[in-house]
Structure 1
Amino acid sequence: MGAAHPSSPPGLPIGPSRPWLAPLAGYSDLPFRLLCRELGASVTCTEMVSAKGLVLGQGKKSNATNELLATWPPLEPPVRCRAASLPYPGPGPSLPPVAPDTPLVVQLFGAEASFMGEAVRILVDRGYAWFDCNMGCSVPKVVKSGSGAAMLQDPDNAVAVAEAMLGAAGKGRVGFKLRLGREAGEDVYLPLAKRLEEAGAGWLTLHPRYARQKFTGTADWDAVRPLVAQSAIPVMVSGDLFTPSDGVKALAVTGAAGVMFARGAMHNPAIFGQFTELLVAGKASGGRGQRFADASALEYCIRRHAALIRAFYPQRLNRQGVEAGLLKMRTFVPRYVKECAGARYLRRAMANCLTWRAMDDLLDDFFARAENLELAPSDAAMCGDSDT
C-alpha cells in the first residue's frame, strides 16, 4: 500500500492506494464492511446514524441504533456455513467496535449542534474514534429536518455543528461529506469547506453533484480540483466510481488524496483490491470491463458475504419466519450476479428462498451450470441506488 497523505489524521489511512467504503444507507452494516475490508478497503463507514435518535434512545431496551451501527459480536454458538471459518474474536460486549472493523468512521446526521456533540461524546465513551458529518444527503425526509444537504444552505449552523462534534471528538477526528450546493448556480462548498477546515476538520469528502441532482447526470470531478487546491487537509472524492478505472481516473482528474467507493462497491466488493492493483501495477483482476475476474471470484464473494451475515447478524425472524440476515443477503445477490447470463433466473429464485439451506442449494445449482456463468462486460447503469 502507498504512503498515507502527509496531512492525514494520525491512525487514519488516507492516500491514493487507501480506498474507503462510503456510508451506504441500508447496506454498509458490519458483515458488508468486513467483506469489503477483506477485499481491500482500508477504511469503512457506518450507515447514516441519527444523532438525535442515538441521544434520546439512551437507556431504552430497543437496540435499533446499535444494530444500525452494526457492532454485534459473533453469535454463540457459531453457525455452520459453506465458507472458510471466521478469524474473528469470540462474543464480547455488543457496544464497542469489533476489532477487525477498524479504523471505522461513524457517520452522523442531524441539524442541532447540541445533539451532534452529545452523540459524539456517547460514541467516544463506547470506544469509537472517528466520525463523519453528513452534509450531502438529498433524501427529502433528511433535508426537511434541516440535516444532510439542507446544511449547505445554513453555513453558520453547519459550522456550529462541526465545532460541537470536534469539541467532543478532538481536532482532526471528524470529517465532513459535502455536495456542491443545493442546485446549479448555488455553489457553496468552497467557502463552507474553508470554514470547516478552520474549525478543525480532519478531512473532507466531496460528491461533486448538486443536492437536487440526487444521482442524475454525472459527477463533476473537475469541481473537486479547486477544493483540493485550497485545502491543507485531505480531500476524498466520491461519486460515479463504478469501476476500478473510474477510481484511478478520478484521482488523476481531481488530485484528491483518496477515493471513496459507494455504488460501485454495492455491486462489486472486490473493487477495492482491483482499484489498488490497477493504481499500483497498471492492471486489475476483473479484465475486459467485468466486475469479477471469473465465476470462482464471484462465487467466493457471495458465499463469504453469506458466511459473515450468518456469523454476525441477529437471528431475528420476520412475520413470515424468515431470518433478517437472509432477507439482507437476498438484496445483495442480484447485484453481484448482474453480469451473469443466468442473473434473471437467480434473482427470481432468490426471492423465494426462506432458509439458508435453500439459498445454499440454489447457489450450488447456479454455479454448477456453466451456461449461467457467462460474464458480460459491466456497465455503469446503476443510477437509483442510494449512497450519501
Structure 2
Amino acid sequence: MPLAMDSLPTLHQLYATLLLIAAYIVASALTLIVVQLDRISKLPPDLPWVDLRGKRWFPKLRANFHQIVTGRQPISEGWEKYGKHGKPFVLPGLHWPEVILPPSHHGWIAGQPEYILSDDVVQDELLGLPYFAHGPSAAAVHDFTVIRRDLTRQMGKLVPEILDEVDVGLAEYFGTDEADWREVRAIEAISKISQRAMERVFVGLPLCRHPSYLAAVRRWMMGFAICGVLYRAFLPGMLQPVLAHMLTIPLALIKWLALRKSLPLIRQRMDDFSHQQKGKGTENDVRLPNDMLQWLIEQNTHNPPSEKLTAWDIGGRLCLFELFAVHTTSTTLGTALLDILLNPSRTAILADLRKEAEEILPQLPTDPKKAREMHKMDSLFRETLRIHPIQQPVVTAGEPRGGARDTAAGHTP
C-alpha cells in the first residue's frame, strides 16, 4: 500500500506533463488553422484553386496542408487546366497560397513599378527580415548591391581561391588515400564544403577554416530557419510586431555567439581601411583583401551618416549573405547528387562529368572563362533547378493598399 501511495505523485506528474503537451499541440494546431484561414480570406474568391478535394469541410484549408506531400502535381494540374489557356489560378501553400499568372501576363508583371510589386515584401513575409536581420534600417536589410556589383565583377579573380578551398575541404572530409576506405555522410560533407568555399569568398583565410566559427554560423543558420518557420506559420499579422520580437531573443544570442568570432577581424579590417584611406600612397599602406567583408567596408564609406554600418551590422549582413549562399549552393549540389545516383544511367553520367571536370578544372585558375565550356555540368544544374526549384514560381507580392489589378488577370492581393 505505501508503495502504491508513493507512485501517485509520479503518475500525477506524468499526467500533468502529458496534458501540457496535448494543450500545446492543440493550441499550435488552432493557431496554424487560424493563420491559414486568414490568408485564404485575402485571396480573390473568384480565382480557381487546384488540388481541391471536394467542396465540404474547408477544401481550401485542406489543400494548403496537403501541399506537404503533393510535390509538383498541383503545379502540373494548374498548368493543364488554366495556365496554358491563359487563365490565372491559385496554388495552395502551407505558408501563403499563391496566385499564379500565365505566361501571357509576364509583360504586365515586368511592367509594374517597385512600389506596386516588390520582392522585398515577399522576403519580409517569408523570412521576417525586419525582425531577424541586421540594421540599421529597413533599406539596409534589403541592400544587396555588393552582391550584384562587387561579387559579379570579382568572381573571376576569386575562382582560384574557391577551387583551393573546395580541394582542401574534399581532402579533409573525403580523404585522399584511395586504399583507405571511410564512411562519409555525403550531404553533410557537401554542406560543410560549400560553407567553407563561401566563407573563403566572404571573410577569407584563415577564418573560413576556423571550426568553431563555421559551427557557430551553422547554428545561427539553423536558428534563423526555425524562427522563420514559426514566424510564417504561427504568427498572425496583427501579432507579429509583438511576438516576433520574442523570437528574436534566442536568435540574437546565437548570432552573438557567431559574431564574437568574426567581430575582431571586422574591426581590424575597418581600422586597416581607415588607415589606408588616410595614408594613401605611403609605404605604410596595407594590402587590402579582396572578399565580401572588404567590399562591405568600402561600400560603407559612401553611405550617408544615417545608414553607416557598425561592425555588428556588417557581421549581421555577412551572416545573412552566408545563409542565402550556403543554403542555395548546398541544396542544389545535394539534390543534383541524389538525382544522379537515382538515375539508371548514373555510371555513364558520372563518367561524362568526371571527364569534363578533368579537362577544364585545371585551366580555371588561369582562365576562369573556361567554366563556360562545362556544358554537361551546366545542363545538370539547370535541369536540377528546373525539376527541384529552390524558390516558388512566383516571388512578387502586391504592396499598395488594395492590391494590384490587371485587366485580364483580375485582382491580385
TM-score of the aligned structures, taking structure 1 as reference length: 0.23
Structure with larger Rg: 2
Query: Which of the pair is proportionally richer in strand?
Result: 1
TM-score of the aligned structures, taking structure 2 as reference length: 0.22
